[in-house]
Structure 1
């Protein structure tokens, strides 16, 4: 009889807790959708400040603005964490054309890749050699490459449903293409934009010369997908055509910037820290609304929604707006370094850096035990059409916090349109849907609430 009583008591407690969680999630979603702040914050960040490249005036304006907004929420603490960041300036608008024979030219849209050197003052013109990937360079050898512009033309794989997987399959040519081509005597590189659709928008992004000697470094630019298709077609007709491009970008000395941080101190376990964040910097072509203004305002909204719904966290919940994810990851690395030096105990971190589209769920970098706990919460999210719960990656800025005990998570919105805007001049506020943005903020808040209430499962120590 006693065992039966205990079993019934356990079941009734679980049912009560489930009902309590359902009510709290309903309150979170209702508040976000009817009294949200994220869209208004993003409107200011995008339209009043604009693109926020690390080291720029706009980046510093964004630091001041977001700190002021966090101050207004009545958090327990708001502060700026200094971090040295690279300062790269694009310069005058880039220009390029394809010359099929002397005097016969067709202009094509390009943009310099972040971190690239400039072309000579008068621009650069040379013959072109097309490749589908870095691995082809070794097969071609110096004789075929020297003195030419290498055209990397491997497209994103269209039949992959996970567009981030398609991006990962070809981004190496953008990041390392100039370094590798320079080793074979190339004079420059042009890279097909990381974009699944055909359009006239070149997409920038980070590139690196690694330890390549300065004298072997060559200018690197992205060409739009329509431009890449045209260039490739013209090369089949005339392999001896020439490509001209001019860019005036420049790398300056590092400058000081900041991570913007605010927290609600935990009522029961203040030394257990949970982080939610996005990166405050963006590229300079658009205003960075999807990448990653959306993630920043959603993360700020998490703390506001918890306060607005009257929930008092057990653990310390900290919003971190990281600086310099796009071309250095300095903010994420500095945050983890300071946390380690202070002996802080981070138990959970969630990042939003996949755009402000309709949320589908989360990916988790965690133990099997913690993932099993997440699976038990799936029914709570089903009314909001959140169904994707997978083990996998989390986010670049929270990655440096990884250890055996922490749970890392990434918000996963619908990704099918993300690379239409990623790193391009059309990543602007008008591409944001207010309701989708607010649903994402609520979904993040719901997960933070559940992990705060129930905690994470610490791994069992193996006896020596």
Structure 2
């Protein structure tokens, strides 16, 4: 009996020592990763070029193609085991000349307000449209209005992001339906156009674009859709309260073209032990056209590239094959993410882990995971490794749009979660520019991503 107790005690001590040694080794590797990113990082330099030398990268545009060529070139410089382009057909939509709008209280008495076309909108007729306005707070409120009162009007969706929600992505999700489906719903009742309050928690004069859909509407039934700045929305709402008979004028010259060929850009380090188990890290290479796409999603692109560079910098050789995937067309179609997943299924590739950065280049706070309880418990056991870097948020929830088509039972999907309080000030707007990027925050995010990839590479999935 005493002998058995001794054996059990010895085994327990041995297990504890192994765990402590492993924890110490992991802590040392994470320290190397963070040091390399903060002292010798490339992410900020890369983003400077992508933002300032290339600029906005709307799918199907010349700048999007320039970004593909640049990313391929930079990944080849890292001397990875493989760099390739994966072709994908993407939509092409152009904004045309700058949009113009004004509020008219009476003939000759007008006030200009900032608007921008929503991505995918049809243009106005030549010379624009001018019509009375009906303000609503939701799609459901629109349905409660008699159809004959909507016909010939412009519908003004004015539901703001909910300011008391600390998670700003939750606030965004609570009102984005009016942007995406507002035109399709209003057109059913005979409206001639829609204006949507920008998805922005700040009061300013910058309209925010974004994807919208006409659903199954025929081309002849589609109506123009524009975003109005938050200041403009408040002004219009106040003026409607004083005078419900005011009119709104919109002039837009946007256009939808035939689909064009573009590419996902893929770089790979082949695994030393399990080369047929794939882990990916990525962001989307395309952006909207108003700014230069620095936060959405230039930051995610360069952070993902940096993960592979950091491993080479510190001399870490992964057990599993790790890919950086720079997806095309997340903003208005998700074609790149769908194509990557389709090809992976056709080839029978075993993807066990995918991490996406698409929430801006702000201070990293942690990750969200779409995974099994067993894998989430494993992540929780790594919390103490991240605490020195003030990474504390590990939650079950969403991951990222581009990696979502990869979802299957045994895969771990993760999303980097930076501080979100400033993100929607820049999201899809003219001020999503490189000068809004903080170098240190960007580099911390890259190191945080590399650290999580390292841990899943070392320990695998459950």
Structures share a fold, TM > 0.5?
Answer: yes
Q: How does 1:330-345 map to 2 (within 5 A)?
A: 330-345=335-350
Among 183, 194, 206, which residue is 1:201 paired with? Answer: 206
Mapped partners of 1:268, 1:256: distance in 2: 36
Mapped partners of 2:65, 2:295: distance in 1: 19
The residue number in structure 1 matching 2:25 is 20
**Deviation per residue, 1:291-325 (Å, 9 max, x gap):** 00000000000000011111100000000000000
Among 48, 55, 58, which residue is 2:60 paired with? Answer: 55
The residue number in structure 2 matching 1:274 is 279
Query: Secondary structure at the residue paired with 2:165?
Result: coil
What's the CA shift for 1:108? Answer: 0.1
The residue number in structure 2 matching 1:283 is 288
Which stretch of structure 1 is more off in the superposition, 173-182 or 140-149? 140-149
The residue number in structure 1 matching 2:138 is 133
Mapped partners of 2:278, 2:220: distance in 1: 47
The residue number in structure 2 matching 1:168 is 173
What's the CA shift for 1:176? Answer: 0.3
The residue number in structure 2 matching 1:378 is 383
Mapped partners of 1:83, 1:34: distance in 2: 37
Query: Secondary structure at the residue paired with 2:351?
Result: strand
What's the CA shift for 1:4? Answer: 1.6
Mapped partners of 1:334, 1:145: distance in 2: 40
Mapped partners of 1:448, 1:293: distance in 2: 20
What's the CA shift for 1:96? Answer: 0.3
Q: How does 1:358-437 map to 2 (within 5 A)?
A: 358-437=363-442
Is 1:182 the counterpart of 2:182 in the alignment? no
Mapped partners of 1:452, 1:355: distance in 2: 25
Mapped partners of 2:427, 2:143: distance in 1: 30
The residue number in structure 2 matching 1:353 is 358
Mapped partners of 1:217, 1:142: distance in 2: 17
What's the CA shift for 1:136? Answer: 1.1
The residue number in structure 2 matching 1:239 is 244
Among 114, 119, 124, which residue is 1:114 paired with? Answer: 119
Mapped partners of 1:420, 1:137: distance in 2: 28
Mapped partners of 2:372, 2:31: distance in 1: 28
Mapped partners of 1:169, 1:92: distance in 2: 31
What's the CA shift for 1:144? Answer: 1.4
The residue number in structure 1 matching 2:450 is 445
What's the CA shift for 1:141? Answer: 2.5
What's the CA shift for 1:382? Answer: 0.1
**Deviation per residue, 1:188-219 (Å, 9 max, x gap):** 00000000010000000000001012221100
Query: Secondary structure at the residue paired with 1:106?
Result: strand
The residue number in structure 2 matching 1:123 is 128
Is 1:226 the counterpart of 2:243 in the alignment? no
Mapped partners of 2:187, 2:222: distance in 1: 6
Query: Secondary structure at the residue paired with 1:354?
Result: coil
Is 1:92 the counterpart of 2:97 in the alignment? yes
Query: Secondary structure at the residue paired with 2:146?
Result: helix
Is 1:154 the counterpart of 2:159 in the alignment? yes
Query: Secondary structure at the residue paired with 1:75?
Result: coil
Q: How does 1:240-319 map to 2 (within 5 A)?
A: 240-319=245-324
Mapped partners of 1:124, 1:252: distance in 2: 23
Aligned length: 457
What's the CA shift for 1:349? Answer: 0.2
Structure 1 residue runs of 4 or more that deviate by more than 6 Å after TM superposition? none
**Deviation per residue, 1:216-238 (Å, 9 max, x gap):** 11000000000000000000011
The residue number in structure 2 matching 1:461 is none
Mapped partners of 1:232, 1:343: distance in 2: 55
Is 1:5 the counterpart of 2:10 in the alignment? yes
Query: Secondary structure at the residue paired with 2:145?
Result: helix
What is the root-mean-square deviation in Å for CA atoms of aligned residues?
0.4
Query: Secondary structure at the residue paired with 1:140?
Result: coil
**Deviation per residue, 1:252-303 (Å, 9 max, x gap):** 0000000000000000000100010000000000000000000000000000
What's the CA shift for 1:329? Answer: 0.2
Is 1:142 the counterpart of 2:147 in the alignment? yes
The residue number in structure 1 matching 2:215 is 210
What's the CA shift for 1:8? Answer: 1.0
